[in-house]
Structure 1
Amino acid sequence: MRHLWGRVRPGLIATMPVLLLAAACASGLEAWRVARANGTIAALEAGTDAEVSPGAPPPVLAARVAFLAKRGRLDEAEPLLPGLEAGDDRADLARARYVLANARMRAAFGLLARGELDKAGPLVTLSRQDYRRALRERPDFWDAKFNLDVASRLIRDYPELNRTDGDELQSEPKKIWTDIPGQPRGGP
């Protein structure tokens, strides 16, 4: 045993500083990446635009999505979502979906205020989908639950009605219901 230790010891003494230096460099590089990501997040939250690559860390992508959604630039925010979906942090993905849904609801409320009901409908539908996706990622997300309820009350899902010629509408009797709360179903 003593003989083996005598043979291994000089090699260990020579390689140990190299390994420690490599570990220190790796730790320093990771600290630099974290500081850079935190700086980008702080700039975005302060209102300064910062370019973010789709391969950026999830918190940076979520901050960029929030920045773009707050300014109504939803077309630029959508391509960042696959980067969040690929990551392991489901809370950032839920938050990004929630922020996008809120931006769509704000746009829909603006259209409703101007009386453009036909344009507001698809935005409300898309926001409901995003609220549901946020809840799928984080079921305890109370704000998303509340906003989904508001969006669902704004535009209801009605049964599909088959149109025929003229003013006649045909539907299956099973699919007709009263949508007024408190009214009995069926009968006069």
Structure 2
Amino acid sequence: MNPPGKRIGQIPRARLSPLLAVALAVAAFATLVFAREWSRATALNRDIADLRAGKDIKVEPNARPELLLARMAFLLQRDEFDAARVIAAALDRTDRDDLAARGRYLLGNAQLRRGFALIQAADLENAGIFVNLAKRDYRKALQRAPGFWDAKYNFDVASRLMRDYPNFAQENGDEMPADPKKIWTDLPGAPQGLP
């Protein structure tokens, strides 16, 4: 007959054996999951670093938003606006408002830089197109991230550079109907009345 102390020590060991096996299986599974995620994160960081270093890497439209943003920055450094707009649309479909706003901000900055270059080259018609596109992208950035101060500031700069005037529909030659409610002026001068 076994002493009472020995019996008590054997009971938990008998029950501990299946629990230990389950805990070991869970730990092995968790290790595999974490190893896979670490491998994916390492590959993502490597691809982002390659894009920043100037290496052209093809990115699928359903890739991680961080990789899409890095690809977009790569394209904008090379003035590939159309390809960058496709990626901006893909970023807009993600649930990452911060990265989608950042992408629109980068696109707006690149277009505004192009607008400045065209202004310096005295190509005001094409400059207006790029400035208006930049304003549109800054607006989209602010819709996704209303507190994005840099986008607000750049939107203000672009708005001062190219004002939004109302669209007047010309129907009869040189005549333009005057509707006092829709006309506003941006002419400098002292306003009448009290401050």
TM-score by length of 1: 0.85
Q: The residue matched to 1:162 in structure 2 has which SS?
A: coil
Query: Which residue in the other structure is 2:177 paired with?
Result: 170
Tell me which structure has the larger Cα radius of gyration: 2
User: Deviation of residue 152 (structure 1)?
Assistant: 0.7
Q: What CA deviation, in whole Å up to 9, does each residue of 1:73-131 have, x standing for no partner? A: 11111222243223332211111100000111122222222322222222211110110
Query: Is 1:101–1:127's contact at 8 Å kept on the other side of the alignment?
Result: yes
Aligned length: 183
Separation in structure 2 between the aligned mates of residue 69 and residue 94 of structure 1, nearest angstrom: 15
Counterparts in 2 of 1:73-112, with a 5 A limit?
73-112=80-119
* Aligned mate of 2:132, from 125, 129, 139: 125
Q: The residue matched to 1:32 in structure 2 has which SS?
A: helix
Separation in structure 1 between the aligned mates of residue 14 and residue 133 of structure 2, nearest angstrom: 70
Query: Is 1:65–1:96's contact at 8 Å kept on the other side of the alignment?
Result: yes
Query: Which residue in the other structure is 2:75 paired with?
Result: 68
Query: Which residue in the other structure is 1:150 paired with?
Result: 157
User: Deviation of residue 31 (structure 1)?
Assistant: 0.6
Separation in structure 1 between the aligned mates of residue 64 and residue 80 of structure 2, nearest angstrom: 21
Query: Which residue in the other structure is 2:3 paired with?
Result: none
Q: The residue matched to 1:49 in structure 2 has which SS?
A: coil
Q: What CA deviation, in whole Å up to 9, does each residue of 1:104-161 have, x standing for no partner? A: 1122222222322222222211110110111122222222111101111111111222
Q: The residue matched to 1:140 in structure 2 has which SS?
A: coil
Q: Which runs of 5+ in 1 are unaligned?
A: none
Q: What CA deviation, in whole Å up to 9, does each residue of 1:17-48 have, x standing for no partner? A: 22221110110010111111111111222222
Residue 55 (1) aligns with residue 94 (2): no
TM-score by length of 2: 0.82
Q: Which runs of 5+ in 2 are unaligned?
A: 1-7
Over the matched positions of the two proteins, sequence identity in percent amounts to 42
